[in-house]
Every structure is written in C-alpha cells, then in structure tokens.
Amino acid sequence: MASSNSNRYKMSQERLDELKKELEFMETVREKEVAEQIKEARSFGDLSENSEYDEAKTEQGKLYSKIAEYKDLIEHAEIVDTVDHNLPKDAVTLGSIVTVRDLDEELEDRYEIVGSQEANPREGRISDDSPVGKGLIGHRAGESLRIPVPSGEVRLEIISVENL
C-alpha cells in the first residue's frame, strides 16, 4: 500500500492495542512456529516434491503479508475520540449507538458507528465511512433520511441515539 497522509485508519485506542498485541504474537510465536515447520519439512528431503515444504513456505508468505498489513495499520492509525464535540450532544457521531427504522421494510436495526478498522456489519458495527454510516452522522432522533447506497437508496427514520 502506498502511504500518504490521507491514508489514515480511524480506530479506537483499544483496537490499536489489539493490533499491536496480534502483531507481536505474529512476529514472535507464530514466526518461530512457521520457521520450525519449514526446517522440519526440509528434513524430509527432495524439496521439489515436498508438499509439506511448499505449504510451510506458503504459510510463511501469508504470515509476512499479514505482518506488513498490521504494521501499515499501526503506523497510519488515527485514534478517534468517540465524541465529535462540534456536533450537538444528541446527534449521531462516531461511537453512537443508533436505532433506526427502515421505512420501506418496516424493520428496526441497531447500529454502532465505528471507525473503518472496527466495522463488522454482522455485529451491527458500521463504519462512519460506509454510505449508511456517513448518512447518519450529524442527524438526531426523529429525523427521516434518504441515504444513497450502491443499490439505490434507503429511507431511514432515526428512532434513538445513544452517545456513551
């Protein structure tokens, strides 16, 4: 990934700490395990027909790729305060838990607005950079919105906003 000042990854301090722990584990314990697998596979003889060796080298490549990815995330992390002090206290901001009603489907959903590195839509954690996340930011309970999404638009009513 080319790095520039615009290439920042928004995340909480907790997520950054998790990434640092995982990176340390990969660079110490996991790297030694993979090196041991390669050493053991080498002992089996002819490397040209040694599937254990090929698998271990592939695993090593994946590990190094993941280490590089984590280093980039950590290096370009932007710790975000969960409260945007420029918005009214009852408005949706990063860290808000928002209950919305889909006006077309008549379904209610509950979302936590998080930085892109913490998003997990299955768990109701949506990024402030996602179409719905962006569309909700700055709005308050009682408002109805039309938010453009890749498949068209969604019509949502904000039922409640919790800012912890």
pLDDT at residue number 158: 95
Strands 152-162 and 144-149: antiparallel
Q: Is the model's pLDDT at 38 over the cut of 50?
A: yes
Per the domain annotation, does 1 fall within a domain?
no
Q: Is the same domain home to 71 and 101? A: no
Q: Is the same domain home to 130 and 102? A: yes
Where does the pLDDT of residue 1 fall: very low under 50, low under 70, confident under 90, or very high at 90 and above? Answer: very low
What global pTM score does this model have?
A: 0.59
At 146, is the secondary structure helix, strand, or coil?
A: strand
Per the domain annotation, does 139 fall within a domain?
yes
Strands 77-79 and 9-11: parallel
Angle formed at CA 113 by CA 111 and CA 114, multiple of 5 degrees? 130
Q: Is the same domain home to 68 and 112? A: no
CATH number of the domain to which 157 belongs: 3.10.50.30
Per the domain annotation, does 92 fall within a domain?
no
- Lowest average pLDDT, out of 58-67, 89-98, 105-114, goes to 89-98
The whole-angstrom separation of Cα 62 and Cα 65 is 5
Q: Is the model's pLDDT at 95 over the cut of 90?
A: no
The whole-angstrom separation of Cα 67 and Cα 69 is 5
The total domain count for the chain is 2
Per the domain annotation, does 71 fall within a domain?
yes
Q: Is the same domain home to 17 and 71? A: yes
Query: Which residue among 49, 79, 109 closes a domain?
Result: 79
Q: Is the same domain home to 157 and 112? A: yes
Q: Is the same domain home to 157 and 102? A: yes
Per the domain annotation, does 65 fall within a domain?
yes
Structural domain harbouring 33: 9-79
Residues 6+ apart with CB under 8 A from 143: 157, 158
What are 65's two structure tokens?
Answer: 């790729």
Question: Which CA distances in Å does 25 have to 50, 66, 161?
Answer: 28, 12, 38
Query: Which residue among 79, 106, 133 closes a domain?
Result: 79
Per the domain annotation, does 84 fall within a domain?
no
- Of how many residues is the chain composed? 164
Q: Is the model's pLDDT at 85 over the cut of 80?
A: no
Per-residue pLDDT reduced to its tens digit, 102-151 = 999 989 999 999 887 788 889 999 998 899 999 999 999 999 999 999 99
pLDDT at residue number 28: 93
Residues 6+ apart with CB under 8 A from 53: 38, 41, 42, 44, 47
Q: Is the same domain home to 69 and 41? A: yes
Where does the pLDDT of residue 4 fall: very low under 50, low under 70, confident under 90, or very high at 90 and above? Answer: very low
